[in-house]
Structure 1
C-alpha cells in the first residue's frame, strides 16, 4: 500500500532518471487534484555521477524495484521524462494547413533542422497558440517540434519492462516542469533546472516550452569549486553543500563566495543569451517576467537572490508541491526535497490534470 492515504485506482508514478539518481513520486487523482501517495529516491554516488543508469538496464531496473518496494508504491503505471539535453526542440513556422499537408510541411522543416535521419527519430508536434492573431493574419502556423532518437526511447522501454513497470508515456522534462512549477500561469517564465551535471533552461510562453537549452554546468561544479578552494575531498564538499551550518560558515555578508564566480558567470551569460534569443524569436519582442529556479542546486543559499539581482528579473525557488494535496505534517520534509522532485511530480501529474 502507499505510505500516505489509501491505494487508488487512478494513481501514477512519475519517474525521473537523472545523472544524480532516480526520483519516484506516486500521485492519485482526487476530485481533479493530484494527491501525494508516496515518494522515494536513490542518489547516484558522487564518484559515479555521469555514468548513465540507462546504459545498465539490469542495475537500473533493480534499483527501481528497490525504490518502489521501500516507498510501498501501489501502481505499476509510469510516466517518465526525456532529458532536455537529449531531445531536439525547435519552434517551426509552416503554412496554415491541416492533415497530410500540415504533416508534410512539418516533415520538411524537420529534415532541415534535425541532424539525424528522420527514420531514426520519434517526432511530435504541438501547436503554439496564436495569442495576438499575427500568424492567422499572415496565414501561417507555428508549431513546437520535438524529437528523440528511437534508440534512447528503447533504453527507457527496456528499463521499465525489466522493472516490471508499465510505461504509459515518455515526454520531455520541459513539459513536466511546466506542469509542476507553472500550472495555468500564462506569464513568460524562464525555468532554470540545475541538476548534478547539467543545467536546463526552458523559456515558457502560454504554457509551451518555447525555447529549451542545456548547459554543461550543474551542482557538481559548485562542489568541485568548494573541494579545490577548501582542499577537501569532493564527497566531503558535496555533503558540506547541503549542510546549512557548513554553508553558513563560508558565506560572505552579502552575495555568494568568490569560489563560485566562474560557475555563476557561466550561468548568468547563458540566462542573458537565452533571454535575448527568446525576445528575437517573436515578431513582437517579449520579455521574461520571472525566473523559477529548481533542481538540487537551487536550494543553495542566496543563489536565487544572486541571479535575480544581477539579471534584474524576479527569481525564486519553485515549489512543485503547490498543486499537490499532501499531509501538512510532511511540509518540512517536502520543502527540503522539493527542488529535486520537480520533474517527477510533473510527470506523475500528466494524466491527472
Structure 2
C-alpha cells in the first residue's frame, strides 16, 4: 500500500479517467468532491458537505464521535444530496490515525533499505509493526542539504516513515463500502492538502489547517512534510466561548460567528462580543504558529516564504488579515478549486468555500490520476 505521494507524483499531470470522488471524514463534517477529466484538466462535477452533529444529538459544527452506522448514514446522505454520480473514490485518513517520523540510515541500495527501514522504524513507532501499515520515502539529497544538513553526512540517508493503524484503515474501508462506494486508495490528509493547494514551488510553505477541534501545522517544501505539530484549539473553542459570553446555544454561536467574524465595522454589542472571543482564541493559536515558524527558521537558517490557511475555520471572516499582522508574514487562504475547471458564475462561491474542501479535492485529484 502506497501511503505517501512522491514529489514527482504529487504535481505531474493526470491521465484520462472517469469521474471520481474524494471523501474527507472529520469529527464534525463529511466533505465530498466529485471530479472528472476534460481536455487534460480536472473538471468539477459536484461537491458538498454535511454536519455530523445532528446525527449524534449534537449541533451543527460540534465535534462528535459518531458510531460507524451513523457515519455511514451521514455519508450516504451527503452523496445523495450532492448528486454524486460515481462509486469510485479515495478517502483521506486523519493525521490522528497516523504517525510520521524521520530516521537516518546508512547509505545503501533500495533493495537493502526495504529490510533495514522496518527495523529502524520499530524504534520510532510505539506500537507493534503488525498493527500498522508502514510506508517510507527517501528524502532527496538536495532536500537534506536544504535543512539540517549538519546532522546528515553523505554516507547516510534521511528517510521519512509513515505508519497508519490497520484498525483505522479497516474502519474507514467498512464505512466506504457500506455507503456503496469503491475505495481505490487511502491517503493521509496532509498529502491531499499539499496536492490541492501547492504548486511546483521550491520555497518553504507553512500549512495551517484550522479544524473544529484542533489546528494542524506543517512545514512543507517540494511536497515533503519537514515538520508537523498539533495545536489543541480550533473553531469549536470559538463557538463555545461566544456561547458562554452571550448566554446562547452553541448553534446560535455558530450563526453569529459566521455572521460577524472579526468584523470591526459593526459596532453592536453582539458583534463586539464575537470579535473579542474569536480574537482571543485565534491569537492563542497564532502564538503557537509563530513559535513553530520561528523555531523552524532558526534551526534551519531558512525563511518560510508563505503561510497558507486551510480547513473549515480558515474561512472565518477577517482571519487572513489578523494572521498576516500577527505573524508578520505573507498569509493566504488555500484555493484548491483553482486547480479544477468550474462554471465562471461559481468562482466567488468556490473561492470562499475552498479552504474547507482542500483535503477532499486533493484526494479526488489523486484518484483522477488513476494511480
- In angstroms, what is the RMSD of aligned CA positions? 2.6
Alpha carbons of structure 1 residues 52 and 78: separation in structure 2 relative to 1, 3 Å: farther
The answer to whether the Cα contact below 8 Å between 1:85 and 1:200 also exists between their aligned partners in 2 is: no
Alpha carbons of structure 1 residues 137 and 110: separation in structure 2 relative to 1, 3 Å: closer
Alpha carbons of structure 1 residues 281 and 171: separation in structure 2 relative to 1, 3 Å: farther
Higher deviation after alignment, 242-251 or 229-238: 242-251
Identify the residue that residue 64 of structure 1 maps to in structure 2.
75
Q: Deviations over 1:299-339 (max 9, x none)?
A: 22222222221222111111111111101111232233222
Distance in 1, matches of 2:343 and 2:279, equals: 40
Matched, 1:269 2:287: yes
- Of 322, 326, 329, which residue of structure 2 is paired with 1:313? 329
Identify the residue that residue 50 of structure 1 maps to in structure 2.
63
- Of 10, 15, 30, which residue of structure 2 is paired with 1:22? 30
* Map 1:127-142 → 2, pairs under 5 A: 127-131=138-142, 134=145, 138-142=154-158
Question: What TM-score, normalized to structure 1?
Answer: 0.88
Structure 1 runs not aligned, ≥5 long: 1-7
Matched, 1:12 2:20: yes
Distance in 2, matches of 1:125 and 1:208, equals: 12
- Shift in Å, 1:278: 3.3
Distance in 2, matches of 1:50 and 1:306, equals: 25
The answer to whether the Cα contact below 8 Å between 2:28 and 2:64 also exists between their aligned partners in 1 is: no
- Shift in Å, 1:259: 2.4
Alpha carbons of structure 1 residues 260 and 68: separation in structure 2 relative to 1, 3 Å: closer
Alpha carbons of structure 1 residues 116 and 318: separation in structure 2 relative to 1, 3 Å: same
Identify the residue that residue 4 of structure 1 maps to in structure 2.
none
Distance in 1, matches of 2:216 and 2:143, equals: 28
- Shift in Å, 1:270: 2.1
Higher deviation after alignment, 39-48 or 72-81: 39-48
Structure 2 runs not aligned, ≥5 long: 1-15
Matched, 1:224 2:237: no
Distance in 2, matches of 1:251 and 1:220, equals: 23
Higher deviation after alignment, 317-326 or 61-70: 61-70
Alpha carbons of structure 1 residues 304 and 273: separation in structure 2 relative to 1, 3 Å: same
The answer to whether the Cα contact below 8 Å between 2:314 and 2:355 also exists between their aligned partners in 1 is: yes
- Of 46, 56, 78, which residue of structure 2 is paired with 1:38? 46
Higher deviation after alignment, 21-30 or 266-275: 266-275
Distance in 1, matches of 2:268 and 2:210, equals: 20
Matched, 1:115 2:126: yes
- Shift in Å, 1:147: 0.9
Identify the residue that residue 266 of structure 2 maps to in structure 1.
249
The answer to whether the Cα contact below 8 Å between 1:33 and 1:352 also exists between their aligned partners in 2 is: no
- Shift in Å, 1:279: 3.9
Alpha carbons of structure 1 residues 343 and 290: separation in structure 2 relative to 1, 3 Å: same
- Shift in Å, 1:62: 2.3
Question: What TM-score, normalized to structure 2?
Answer: 0.84
Identify the residue that residue 354 of structure 2 maps to in structure 1.
338
* Map 1:176-187 → 2, pairs under 5 A: 176-187=192-203
Q: Deviations over 1:50-83 (max 9, x none)?
A: 3234xx2222222222222222222111111111
Identify the residue that residue 100 of structure 2 maps to in structure 1.
89
Distance in 1, matches of 2:347 and 2:143, equals: 41
Distance in 2, matches of 1:266 and 1:244, equals: 20
Alpha carbons of structure 1 residues 209 and 77: separation in structure 2 relative to 1, 3 Å: same
What SS class does the counterpart of residue 136 from structure 2 fall into? strand
- Of 76, 82, 87, which residue of structure 2 is paired with 1:76? 87
* Map 1:141-152 → 2, pairs under 5 A: 141-152=157-168
The answer to whether the Cα contact below 8 Å between 1:58 and 1:162 also exists between their aligned partners in 2 is: no
